[in-house]
Each structure stands twice: as structure tokens, then as C-alpha cells.
Structure 1
Amino acid sequence: MGKVVLVTGVARRLGDRYAAELARCPGVDRVIGVDAGDPEPSPGYTFLRLDLRRPTVARVIAEHEVDTVVHLDVSAVGPGGRAAVKERNVIGTMQLLGACQKAPGVRRLVVKSTTGVYGSAPRDPAVFGERMQPKNLPRGGFAKDATEAEGYVRGFARRRPDCAVTMLRFANILGPAGDTPLGEYFTLPVLPTVLGHDPRLQFVHEDDVIEVLRLAAVPQDDDRTRAGTFNVAGEGVLLLSQCARRLGRPTVPLLAPALGLVAALARQVRVADISPEHLQLLTHGRVVDTAQLRDGFGYQPRYTTAEAFAEFAAAQSTGLLPPARMAAVTDRLGRLLGAEHPSAKRS
């Protein structure tokens, strides 16, 4: 018999695409996609409208004899405002794990998390490994939700040692659609930045996200259990200034309080959902080590950070200046400023 997989969060584009591709995998009999929203599901899997905050999920797992659960419904955005999003992320995860714990047939759990659990602080290490703790725990927003959800997942793993548990901490996901909060930021005609900061950023292409989730859910021939916690990001880093040049968009350096006001205005008029945790990322950046993904999990992302961003940039409208022209202008300005700086003259 093949696997019966329950996938949560299929109302969003990534979840719908993943459920449809998983249904075509050899060894998978059925895929049941659940969400409280009302999507237009792709053909190939069964969609059930289900709110994870309700105990109904236990009945669905039992009725369909689910043996694998892929939890994608921990999201930074959603209908109903921040309070409703937090309740879906945290309470929904608790209810799902409770249902899985009572279902002896569930033998594999895959959870989508975020590298945001490491936070972004001025005294952070240059590179975060999976065993490292953040200098400052996230105090709110999606990162705090993910931190709480991870705590519940670790508790579940202790109570159900017979169930293989895989937690995937994804860097900022980008692709041609770019339907993420950071993707919305990069679509602004002018990019507000923090004065005096040029953070290092990592991205992961949505195709790599789909493939990593597939490998975690479906048994492979190499006998890897793929259980554990893994950072997932494309190789290399990009500076925020490099991202702006590749998009052909000018930057406007602002003091941190002023940028906070701009972000609040953007959220209010629904131009971009720039949260306080994104402001921290745009100030201090974040880089994670992916050695465990390659060596322990057995996957090398096909797209580097730069290539993932290039795919995203190619799908966007041209900025105020063509990217090549923008790069030439900013590089020339940098050389002129460097030549006029007193320290440059002394050298």
C-alpha cells in the first residue's frame, strides 16, 4: 500500500502546488489537502475545508487512515489580522499535534518552519547552525509563532518516538510569484533601508522548497530517515544593496524609527506587510549554515541565493532605472564618495 498524506495550508499557492506535485509521486496513494480558506485546488488531491483550531482534524486523520502529515499552515500573513494569524499558527499546530499523537497510524510528521526563529540582532554570530540559540528570542510576530510551534513539535517528538519528525527551517522563500512579505517589500518602487546598514540576506527558491518537502514526506531508496531539524537556504548571500541594484530600484536610507513609521504606513495602506521582524532582518540580516541539509538530509539546493533572487527579479517590472544602469550609477557614486572621504585621501 502507498502512503496517505495530509497536507495543511493548501489555500496558499505554495501549499496547493506542493499537494498537487506530491499526489503524482510514486508510492503516494492519496493526498488530502486541508485549509480553513476557500481555494481553487489543483487537480490530483482531495480538498477538505477544515479549521485546524477545531478537533475535527482528528476525525479526518482517522477516517482517511493518514500515515504522513505535512504541516505548512504556519504563516506570516492571513485573514483576520495579527491576532487571528497567531491563533491559527499556534492553536492550530497544538490541535494538529494532539490529533497526530492519538493516531497510531501516523508515522511521519513534516513541519515547515523558518530561519526567523534565530532572530536578527547586532551581536548575532556570522552564521547560525541548527543547534545554536538566538541572542534574543523573537518577541512577537511570525518568528515568535514559529518558535512556539517548534516547541510543541519537539514535545510531540518526545512523546511519539515511533514517529519520524522532520522540521525544516526555510530562509526567505522567493520565486517568480514572490507572494511573500519580503517579496512585497522588493516590489516597492523605492526601497527604504536602515541608514548605515547593508544586511546579508539568504533566499531559497520555491522549487527547492517543494523538493525538500517532498523528500521529507516520501521514503527514498537511500534509507535516510531525514528526521531532525534542518536549515534550508540557497548557497551564498546577497547584500540588500546588491538586491536593489539587481532590481533597478533606488534605496532611501532612513533612521530606524523613521523606517518603522514607513513600514506601519505600508501595512496600513496594504502596500506591503513589513513587520517589525522584517525591519530587524533589514537592519542586521541573517545567515544560516546548510551543511546538515547536504550531509544529513542529502539535498543540495539547485538554486543559489543569487539565482533564486534572479528568478524573482526577472518576473518583476523594471525599476526606475534599468538594473545595469542602476549598478553603474551606484558604483560610480561609491567611488566618488570614497575618493572625497578624508581617510581615502590619506591612503
Structure 2
Amino acid sequence: MREQRVLITGAAGYVGGQLGSLLSGQMPVVGVDIQHKDTPFPLFVMDICDDALVELMRAERITHVVHLASVVSPGRDRAREYRIDVEGTRNVLDACIAAGVEHLTLTSSGAAYGYHADNPAWLDEQDSLRGNPEFAYSDHKRRVEEMLADYRVKYPQLQQLIFRPCSIVGATTNSKISDLFAGSSILDPGGYNSPFVFVWDQDVIGAIEFGVKRSASGIYNLAGDGALTPAEIARLLGKPLRRPPVWLLKALLGLSYYLGLGNVHPAQLMFLQYRPVLLNTRLKTELGYQPQKTSAEAFAYFAREALSISVDADTAQVTLAEPALAGGQH
């Protein structure tokens, strides 16, 4: 077996930088990103759509690629986002095949299931990926997973490990997720009370490390046990819960969007109305990775460290919506 040599895309990012730092103490690691950052491993400034990516993989004798690069925050340039998310992933895949890479780990998202009113109470990996055409991030993750399925058939020599994370939180989280809870109140448009599932950022890094070191394959929801509703989150943070009518928020978002004051399209309000709630059973029983923190514990840690709000995780009610699951950790 060849020595594991890892290339990480998006290596200057929130997860990529921490993962590279962890893995570089165990095996040779290089990273690529469109921006420079001081890292304990070599970082090449490179677009993932660059044809030179395959030459870098060959020169560094890469055996394992961890593909993290994607556009997370919504913007107005859908073509640019598609180029990075979908065409960029295709270039990474083609480079892996041409360079003889053995193993690909890719972070998809729970958003690939889509934000739909008829989603199951808990989503398992066998549930359909429906995305949302009006939400670029969700739509692109679905398209990428369809591409990955095609490559699994055409190029079985490239083993694939795919994670579908839920909302990632940690001590230094600064994202659209953290922004939802940093304000003076918690928003629940229309009173849907759709639950959030959280995963600790160190569990994301730990699960990827676990999979890479074992050259594991398969598709896994990446989430902590349980879920928290907006009402529970508001109570834990000691903040009021606001439930404005959906039509009013859509009108305000529409005005902001079309005047160029914001980047959130009114159709994206479904992000709060119909949260995909991820079941992590296969992560624990099939992959064998046990998350260190539950959803409630991860959120309490995030609130304390990132928001400077004291929350006792032991008092956080963990929601288990399916009666069949009520007796266990899921």
C-alpha cells in the first residue's frame, strides 16, 4: 500500500485549515485555495478549475484528496457559483482520475436533500436528494452528488467518501448560521418551529480524519445526536422568539434584494421554514465514527464560546421526533 499523501481543496478555509493542521502531523499534506494563509503545511494558491491541478497531484504523488472548496454564502453571481461548485468539482474529479488518486473525500451538505415541506421528520441517507433550484447552494450540492454517482459507476477505482454535514458550529464560527443566533431575537418565520441539527466543528474534522486514515467509503449524514427547535434555542439563549408572517418577510427580503441592499432572495426563506433534519445512525454504526457532542452540546459550546452566552447543555431538550427513536441516541 502506498504512503498516504493528502491534498485538501479549500485549505485556507474554516474547516480546511484545521483539518490540514491535524493531518500534517500524521502524513504529507498539501493544500490549494484561491487565497493565501499561513499554514503548517504547503499551501498553493490555485483555482480548483485550473488545469494545473492534475500536475500538482502528480508532482506531490497524491493518494487522497479532501475536497472542501465551495461557495457557502448566497450571492448574485449564479454563474460564478456554479463554476466553482459544480465545474470545479468536475475538474477535481477529472484530475483525480488522471493523476491516479485512490480516494476522494467530499463534503456535500444536508442542503442537498432540499428545504421542502414534505421532507421526512428525520432524513436518512437513502432519502431522495431534491435540492432547491432557487437556492444555489442547495441546488449545486444536489448536482454535485449526481455527478459523484456517475463517476462511481465510470471510475470505481476512485473510492468516494461523502459527508452531508448539518449546521456546523464551534468556538470561532462566523457564518450565516452563527448570524441567525447573534441578533437580539430568534426568528421563526410563520411559526413553523422547524428543528436545527448541529454538529461540532471538531466532529467534522474528526470524522474526515477518521475516514481518510481508513480510506473509508460511503455516504454519511454528519450530525450530532438530536435536534433543537427555534423555540428551544430562544429559551436557551434567553432571547425572544419572533414569528412574523412569511408573506411579510418575503416582501421585505424582496425589496432589499431588488434594491441591491441584500443578497438573500425571498424564495430562500425556505431555509428557515423547512429545515432538513439529519439522522446520524449510519455515521455511527456503518462508518464507526461517534460524534463527541450532541446537537445540544455543540450548540451550547458555540453559544458560550462564539456568542459569549452561558448555556447549560444538560438542560437543553433534545428533540427526537420519531417515536421509534425516542429511546436512543440518534
Counterparts of 1:144 and 1:285 in 2: how far apart (Å)? 15
C-alpha displacement of 1:42 = 2.2
Please point out which of 230, 238, 255 is paired with 2:228.
238
Name 1:138's counterpart in structure 2. 132
Contact 2:97 2:158 in 1 (8 A): no
How far has the Cα of 1:195 moved from its partner?
2.1
Pick aligned residue for 2:57 from 58, 61, 66: 61
Number of aligned positions between the proteins: 309
Change (3 A) 1:296 1:276: farther
Opposite residue 5 of structure 1, the aligned amino acid is V
- Displacement of 1:126 in angstroms is 1.3
Deviation at 1:79, TM superposition (A): 8.5
Following superposition, the deviation at residue 263 of structure 1 comes to: 4.8
Closer/same/farther in 2, CA of residues 71 and 265 from structure 1, 3 Å limit: farther
Alignment-derived partner of residue 90 in structure 2 = 94
Residue 109 of structure 2 is matched in structure 1 by 114
Alignment-derived partner of residue 156 in structure 1: 151
Contact 2:254 2:266 in 1 (8 A): no
The Cα of 1:275 is off from its aligned counterpart by 6.2
Distance 2:126 2:173 in 1: 30
Partner of 2:325: none
Change (3 A) 1:314 1:10: same
Q: Give the SS at the match of 1:166.
A: strand
1-structure distance, mates of 2:267, 2:175 = 14
Partners of 1:289 and 1:96 in 2: CA distance: 29
C-alpha contact (below 8 Å) 1:185/1:274 kept by paired residues: no
Q: Distance in 1 between matches of 2:103 and 2:279?
A: 25
* Separation of aligned partners in 1, 2:276 and 2:13: 25
TM score, norm. by length of structure 1: 0.82
CA contact (8 A) 1:193 1:253 kept: yes
Relative to 1, partners in 2 of residues 1:277 and 1:95: Cα closer, same or farther, differing over 3 Å?
A: farther
**Equivalent residue, structure 2, for 1:211:** 206
Partner of 2:38: 41
Code of the residue aligned with 2:54 in structure 1: it is: A
From 165, 173, 183, the counterpart of 2:168: 173
CA change 1:304–1:263 in 2 (3 A) is: farther
Take 2:86 and 2:206, find their aligned partners in 1: how far apart are those partners?
Answer: 26
Seq. identity, %: 25
Aligned to 1:311, the other structure's residue is in SS state helix
Q: Give the CA deviation at 1:125.
A: 1.2
User: TM-score scaled to structure 2, two decimals?
Assistant: 0.86
Tell me if the contact between 1:121 and 1:284 (Cα under 8 Å) persists in the aligned partners: yes
Residue type of the alignment partner of 2:39: S
CA change 1:293–1:266 in 2 (3 A) is farther
- 1:259 and 2:259 aligned: no
3-state SS, counterpart of residue 165 of structure 1: strand
What do the CA deviations read for 1:98-118 (whole angstroms, capped 9, x no partner)?
A: 1111122x1111001101111
C-alpha deviation, 1:274, in angstroms: 5.5
Partner in structure 2 of residue 9 of structure 1: 10
Supply the distance in 1 between the matched residues of 2:234 and 2:306 (Cα, whole angstroms): 12
- Given that 1:169 and 1:231 are in contact with CA atoms closer than 8 Å, whether structure 2 keeps it comes out as yes
**How far apart, in 2, do the equivalents of 1:315 and 1:269 lie?**
31
State the distance in 1 between where 2:14 and 2:90 align. 24
**1:97-145: CA deviation from partner (whole Å, max 9, x where unpaired):** 11111122x11110011011111222221111111115x5421320111
Structure 2 distance, partners of 1:32, 1:318, is: 35
Q: Is the 8 A contact 1:167 1:229 kept in 2?
A: yes
What is the distance in 2 between the residues matched to 1:80 and 1:47? 29
Q: 1:333 is matched with which residue?
A: none
Q: What letter matches 2:20 in structure 1?
A: A
Deviation at 1:218, TM superposition (A): 1.2
Cα distance in 1 for partners of 2:179, 2:88 equals 26
Distance 2:48 2:148 in 1: 15
Aligned to 2:320: none
Is 1:19 aligned with 2:14?
A: no
Q: Which runs of 5+ in 2 are unaligned?
A: 316-330
AA of the residue aligned to 2:95: A
Residue 251 of structure 1, CA deviation: 2.5
1:149 partner amino acid? V
Query: SS where residue 62 of structure 2 aligns?
Result: coil
Partners of 2:71 and 2:118 in 1: CA distance: 27
Q: CA separation in 2, counterparts of 1:62 and 1:189?
A: 51
Shift of 1:67: 0.7
SS at match of 2:161: strand
- Do the aligned partners of 1:74 and 1:113 also contact (CA within 8 Å) in 2? no
Change (3 A) 1:269 1:250: farther
Q: Which has the larger radius of gyration?
A: 1
Deviations 1:139-187 (A, max 9, x none): 1320111111112222222222122211100111111112221111211
Q: Is the 8 A contact 2:170 2:306 kept in 1?
A: no
Q: Does 1:297 align with 2:298?
A: no
For residues 266 and 20 of structure 2, the distance between their equivalents in structure 1, rounded to whole angstroms, comes to 31
CA distance 1:173–1:51, change in 2 (3 Å): same
